[in-house]
Each structure stands twice: as structure tokens, then as C-alpha cells.
Amino acid sequence: MSDMIAGKAVVLSARVTRVLAPNPGFMTGPGTNSYLIGTQDIAVLDPGPASEAHVDALMKAAAELGGRIRWIVLTHTHEDHAPAALLLREKTGAEILGQSPLEGDPAQATLMVDKELEDGDELATAEFTLQAIHTPGHVGNHLCYRLEEEALLFSGDHLINGSTVVIVPPSGNMKDYLASLEKLSHQAISRIAPGHGTLIDNAQALIQYTIHHRLAREAKVLSKMSPNAITLDQLVPLVYDDVNPALHPVACFSLLAHLIKLRLESHVEEIATGWRLTN
């Protein structure tokens, strides 16, 4: 983690440079990773929070590479990943690509993309081909991107290093999240460049681990329930007894996402006094 220094440009490959945003925290780890892709016509992936200092660091990194920023590519529009896109566009004239914010999610930044990307869309240059992969789950407008030449996945908040992501309903959806992981398991991916933390080797191993972890947690949810109703607050310490209690308020969101998935599958139901098994 010695190279995880805010504002420092770190060359990860012939095509990829990382610049860490100055927003470390409980939910962001060392901060948000912004990536410069290419060295001539450059795409900045996830420009980060609304920080003029970080935008300046991105522009400096592009200048040191000898190129210019042509595109701003968003994995999603949460406040720690997207707001700097507006200032970066103002300074460079770059086009914002991705999916616009969803209604009803207070964590979404206030911006609209210039070009909406759908699953399979590509940004192709003389240096690189970046393919969008629609991966709803963490949020409905989430995209991962595969750098074809390096089999590298830019995972945003779908997969991060050192932890599992929080799924916050209603914009977050556990059923969609697991389906998106399964989708990624069929992609030609060798490494992951996450939205938070360092590069991840053996991408498919992490994808399979994450699927297993989520399904194991789901099984634990069912094992702690009965035909008698139980509230979320009562269920959290039972399902997350292997997690620091200080994290239980956050775990409650993912627990709710699991319960909503199980309700859709007719395994549980919600009544006035809480949640209970249906069979």
C-alpha cells in the first residue's frame, strides 16, 4: 500500500495509470481510485469526488503521459466516484460516458452523462479497447469495464480489495448483484483494478469467492429464521456474529438486500412485526 498516496500518479501498465483521490474513510478505504487509460487520447475512469486538487492531479498525470483527456468514463454515479466529472469536463472538454443517476438514491451525484453506455458498448482507440459490462447490484446503473488488451477489469464498487461491497436497497439489489457476478465469471478477465484498494490478481478466484461468500451468508440468514417473525435489528447480530459489531449498522443494509432477494424467491415474507420463513 506504499504507493497509495493521494495525488500520486502510479503507472500500473503500458496503458493504465492510477491516481488516488484524497477521500479516505470508513466506506472508501484509502480513497477512490481514478484511472487514466491510454497515453495519447486518454480516458479517465471514475474521476472521484468534487475535489479541485484531485482534478488538477489527473490533468497533471495526463500531461506527464504526453496526452490529453478526451473521455470521462463512469462506473456509477455515487458521490465518491463521479462528481469531479463536471469540473474535469469544464477544464478539458472531455465527454462523460456511462449511465446517468437513478432517482431515489441519495448517494447519487447530480450530473447527467453526455453519452449513455449499454452492455457491450465499446470505446476503441488506437491504443486500447474498453468494453462496458452492465453489472447492476451495488446500484442499478453500475458498469464494469474490460480493457481488452490486458484482460483487466475496472470493477468500480462491484468488487473491491480487502472487503465485500455493501448492497443498499432499493437502488442496490442482491439478486442482480449475484447475477452480475455470474456474468463476470464468463468474461476473459485476469486482473481487477478496483474502485478502492490495490490491483487484484487472479480475478476469477475473487469472483467465485464473492459468489460463495454471498450465498453462504444467505444460507446463514435462513438458518437463523423461523416461522416466528424477527426484526432486522434482532437478526443482524445473529447473521453477522463473525463481524465487528461496529459494522453491524452497515451490515444491516446487505442483510435487508438478502431478505428482499429471499422474499422474491418466496422463502421469506415481511409482516408487521418483522420477517419470517414462509415454508
Q: Is the peptide bond before 22 cis (omega within 30 degrees of 0)?
A: no
Question: What is the average pLDDT across 42-63?
Answer: 97
Asked if residue 104 has pLDDT above 80, the reply is: no
CATH superfamily name and code, 9-214:
Ribonuclease Z/Hydroxyacylglutathione hydrolase-like (3.60.15.10)
Distance of CA 155 to the CA centre of its chain: 6
Q: Tell me: the pLDDT tens digits for 216-242? A: 999 999 999 999 999 999 999 999 999
Q: Which regions of the chain carry the CATH code 3.60.15.10?
A: 9-214
Q: Which regions of the chain carry the CATH code 1.10.10.10?
A: 224-277
pLDDT at 102: 86
* Residues linked to residue 37 through DSSP beta bridges, in sequence order: 16, 43
Distant-in-sequence, close-in-space partners of 161: CB < 8 Å, separation ≥ 6: 29, 192, 194, 196, 197, 198, 199, 200
Distant-in-sequence, close-in-space partners of 154: CB < 8 Å, separation ≥ 6: 35, 45, 46, 75, 144, 145, 146, 147, 192, 193
Share of the chain above pLDDT 90, in %: 87
Share of the chain above pLDDT 70, in %: 99
| Amino acid, single-letter form, for residue 270 | E
Question: What is the average pLDDT across 8-12?
Answer: 95
pLDDT at 2: 65
Q: Tell me: the pLDDT tens digits for 169-192? A: 988 999 999 999 999 999 999 999
Asked if residue 49 has pLDDT above 90, the reply is: yes
- Sheet containing 9-11, strands listed edge to edge, beginning at the edge strand earlier in sequence: 9-11, 16-20, 33-37, 41-45, 68-73, 95-98, 115-116
**Where is average pLDDT lowest: 88-102, 104-118, 200-214?**
104-118
Find the helix packing angle between 174-184 and 203-223, rounded to 10°.
150
**CATH 1.10.10.10 is the classification of domain 224-277:** yes
